[in-house]
Amino acid sequence: MRPLMDGEIPAIVNANSENEILGALKLGEDFGLKIVINGGREAWKVAEQLAAAEVPVILSSLMQNPEEGLPYDAVYAQPGILVEAGVKIAFATGSQTIARHLPYHAALASAYGLSPEDAWKALTVWPAEIWRVDDLVGTLEEGKMANLFITDGDPLDIRSSIQEIFIKGRRVPIDDRHTRLYEKHNARPIGNR
């Protein structure tokens, strides 16, 4: 508890509704805790308060329907609204098995108001800062892990394919069951032709 109370590590608070988020902000203020909101479904409603308190938000999923009465694009537009207000964000999928969807979250957010540069920050620099590992990862700099990938197009375009992967500066082979299945099914005739 000491590192938490001393502000060395953040308190990750699962909060989705406006009231839950405001309660988390009050908790941080009352106890001097560094808060990180995880989930943040209604974070856009309190974007100014989050920015003023310098509380980042880990957005749990953009692949969901908006609340009743909201426009269809409300979920997709939220990252842009938060960043415009000055809130640091990161994307999360809620499961390791669908972590591969993170670029789709960034692409959706970019298509609905988040700048491509900020979409990249939400995948790299900001999560590293939120988790306080930005001395190791988040940017390509001397002394940091060289984790990167190379694509055949814009990485925020879901039609792009990964060509190379490097983890800790070492090339990782990408020929596996998934790539073989992709190639097999991508080579089939389209439609009934």
- pLDDT tens digits, one per residue of 136-183: 999 999 999 989 999 999 988 888 888 999 999 899 998 888 888 888
Write the CB contacts of 114 (distance below 8 Å, at least 6 apart in sequence).
79, 80, 83, 106, 122
Structural domains of the chain, with CATH:
2-134 (3.20.20.140), 146-193 (no CATH)
Phi, psi of 30 (to 5 degrees): -65, -35
**CA quadruple 85, 88, 90, 94: dihedral positive or negative?**
negative
pLDDT value at 192 more than 60: no
By CB atoms closer than 10 A (0-12, 13-18, 19+), residue 7 is exposed
Contacts 24+ apart (CB under 8 A), 167-175: 169/145
User: Which pair of structure tokens corresponds to residue 67?
Assistant: 């609340």
pLDDT value at 86 more than 60: yes
Out of 71-80, 89-98, 128-137, pick the least confident. 89-98
DSSP letter, residue 59: E
Q: What angle do CA 84, 32, 50 make, to 5 degrees?
A: 15
Q: 22-58 pLDDT, tens per residue?
A: 999 999 999 999 999 999 999 999 999 999 999 999 9
Query: What angle in degrees, to the nearest 10, is found between the helix axes of 116-123 and 74-85?
Result: 90
